[in-house]
Amino acid sequence: MSTAVSPLAPTSVPDMPPVEGIRLATAQAGIRYKNRTDVLLAVFDKGTTVAGVFTRSKCPSAPVEWCRAKLKGGKVRALVVNSGNANAFTGKSGRASTALTAKIAAQAVGCSVNDIFLASTGVIGEPLDATKFDGVLLSLAQEAKEGRFLDAAKAIMTTDTFPKVATAEAKIGKTKVVISGIAKGAGMIAPDMATMLSFIFTDAPIAAPALQVLLRDGVVDTFNAVTIDGDTSTSDTLLAFATGAAAARGAPKITRASDPRLTAFRRALQTVLADLSEQVARDGEGARKLVEIKVEGATSKTSARRIAMSIANSPLVKTAIAGEDANWGRVVMAVGKAGEPADRDKLSIWFNGIRVAHKGARDPSYDEEKVSIAMKNPKIKLKVGLGLGKGKDRVLTCDLTKDYVAINGDYRS
């Protein structure tokens, strides 16, 4: 974990209200880091439903495989998360570690192992010693309290420089419900159905199938529209938990994602997911610039997304932005290599609202001094107009600095 907080970190942390039916606790288990919390236990009341989306990597971690198998049941009593070791590419020992962790957690909470969900983040390829959870999880189960979301977010950090939390409220019927979430992620970020690790908690009474649809839809323009370095993790896990506690206050039980009473909830969930995913972009390893890329005039939204991601994942574009250089030539390159419809002679490019290229050439009114001043802004808005159709999309990324190389050059040591 880096000691210097990202200059792009949020200037304030929201008050995180407790979510009824959820208790949290953290501890130092000595997984990899010394003198810092590295394990989180979330304990849920009976009746809590769960939904999840995971990495599409063909080399998923053992905890991802465990969660996929347990998700079919739709119910949960506890979540165990550790940082420092991803328990990925660990073969039979990795599967044995997940089974032992779940067994220890189930005994600590007093439930079936099928109601335990797991997530791990950190170094890939190192065996995880699950015996370190023995005794620790029992103590955590006894100490767990409502609230404590900030502590939970700190416990799951690896190279993150700040804990990531977000919250929102909505009404289902006439009853207020809370949605709170935490996330971690700073490198190896190019989510494909999830982010590195993120957990969403609500007291809304929503059945697992409906919650699954809400979550699946919610990641499309939030976590799946963020990239740090173009590398999709083996461990990407996004889980949502709904305790249903608000039913006792009059909230109607929701069984279908299409229920019109979910309109405000869906909007609030999207707000939380968008907030957390932007915080991930702001904490990109070594980042000094938050970069918003908008592509307009594409032949479709899908095409716009692919072009935007091609730009966002280009090391040449990202290093130019790090150097505060509005190098539109590199943007043109990234558009051209995306494999999507594009016409050089219709292409226009803007940096922070200043058009630098138009109709396939440098803008006639280009002013180097004006653009250089704009590029010093900590947030860079890069817009591309293709002039081909109505398709548009937006993604977030960050610049690529020397610090990214330094962080990843000695990550395992």
12 is in an annotated binding site: no
Rounded CA-CA distance 398/286 in Å is 9
The pairing of beta strand 237-242 with beta strand 197-202: parallel
Name the catalytic one among 195, 222, 232, 397.
Answer: 195
Q: Is 269:200 a contact under the CB 8 Å cutoff?
A: yes
34 marked as binding residue: no
Give CA–CA dist 184/8, Å, rounded. 15
Torsion sign across C-alpha atoms 303, 308, 313, 316: positive
CA nearest to 79, candidates 25, 37, 151: 25
From residue 225, give the alpha-carbon distance in Å to each of 195, 199, 218. Answer: 10, 18, 11
Does 158 belong to an annotated binding site?
A: yes
Classified as helix, coil or strand, 324 is coil
> Is 314 assigned a ligand-binding role in the annotation?
no
Active site residue 195: yes
Exposure letters 134-153 (e unless 16+ CB within 10 A, then b): eebbbebbeebeebbbbbbb
Q: If you compute the radius of gyration of the chain from its CA atoms, what whole number of angstroms results?
A: 22
Q: Is 57 annotated as a binding residue?
A: no
294 burial (CB, 10 Å; 0-12 / 13-18 / 19+) is middle
CB 258 within 8 A of CB 206: no
Q: Is 237 annotated as a binding residue?
A: no
**Residue 116 · residue 71 · CB < 8 Å:** no
> Count of H helices and E strands in the chain?
11, 15
CA dihedral 3, 6, 11, 13 (to 10 degrees): -60
Q: Do residues 393 and 225 lie in contact, with contact meaning Cβ atoms separated by under 8 Å?
A: yes
Residue numbers belonging to the annotated binding site: 158, 184, 195, 285, 408, 413
Known binding residues for substrate: 158, 184, 195, 285, 408, 413
Which residues are tagged catalytic? 195
